[in-house]
Structure 1
Amino acid sequence: MLKKCLLSACIFGLSANSLAEVNQMITYADIRENIGIIPGNIRQNAETEDRLDSPGDIFVFDQILLGENGKDIMGRNAGFCIRTDPGMPDFSGTDHPSLPDDPKNNHGQCQWSLVFSNAGKARKGSIQVAGRESDIGLSELTIIGGTGDFVGIKGVLCSTPEPQNKRFKQVLVYSKDGKDKNQLRCP
């Protein structure tokens, strides 16, 4: 479901006259292997020789993209991540415990597309995102572009893993005019 609201009303509670209109959309990237009769979700490691999580490892994914209710299939969520900082020390001793991140959390540099191919009356096209994503907690990634109804999009994708549901909640906060790009932040 797409929601239009004044940025002030959606996020900051400031006066409506000072900020531009933004859009907010909630989707879920479902990571289960099968959803009912729909197979096809993959998460495949491209480097498995040492079978350890280490810097430079890459994995690819192609998952079902669900709508805000967590049930309606909107399209696909597909891309790749390169592991940049495994949280736990690995075989090579390359973990960086002196960095200010959580040593129990893994991070990767990721890029993917949300492809809206089965969105009914909702918008059609794709949104491309990129940035550092963590396995635990909120990650804020940059929307780097769009196609179809999303041409000219600016904003962020706020990704939060929900391991109990085997999915990632993705909140897109975006605008097409880009005037208040400094106000486009994760709620």
Structure 2
Amino acid sequence: MLIPLSRAKPLLGISMDSDPSDDLLLISALQAASTAIQNFLKRDLEYGTYKQTLDAPDTPFLRLKNYPIHAVNSLEHRSMTVAAESYDIETDNGMLFRRDGWGCGERVIKVEYVAGYILPSDIPGVPESTLPANIEYACALLAQTLMRQPGVTAERVGDLSVNYKDDGGDLPGVVKALLMR
């Protein structure tokens, strides 16, 4: 999950002392929101080792699916291992840059690399999260939206009235805005 229960509850105004029987619904919504966000971003955010087979571009830049990139374990082009000295890693945008390009001849490039963020966790002793706070917050907001009563388009509590627009096909605007940063 992109945000643990202990961080989601305060963001959503839920007391940590609230009835734990409600936690299952929130955890399910957080998991669904995490998946929806990664699908929207078209990448996995969790720190791990990834393998990709790509078609060589006609430019000096090779875009990998997942980032930030921490290391390239192996890169094979034209059925040969490419030396790490022959390309630069643009960590934050998931690109490998090679001055003489990737084209010509065999077009298949195979890459194994380490990328992603250390996700936040409620488990004691795990490394501290490196996931940007805006992604955590987007996950909490999307989970809150998912937990609303289906079909409800407006709510009134005292003097406060809120209307919801849900066309069913997209993330809420505030969630998208947080993810586009």
> Do they fold alike, i.e. is TM over 0.5?
no
Kindly indicate whether structure 1 or structure 2 has the higher relative contact order, using CA contacts under 8 Å at least 6 residues apart.
2
> Structure 1 or 2: larger strand share?
1
> Structure 1 or 2: larger helix share?
2
Q: TM-score, normalised by structure 2?
A: 0.20
Please identify the structure whose Cα radius of gyration is greater.
2
Q: TM-score, normalised by structure 1?
A: 0.19
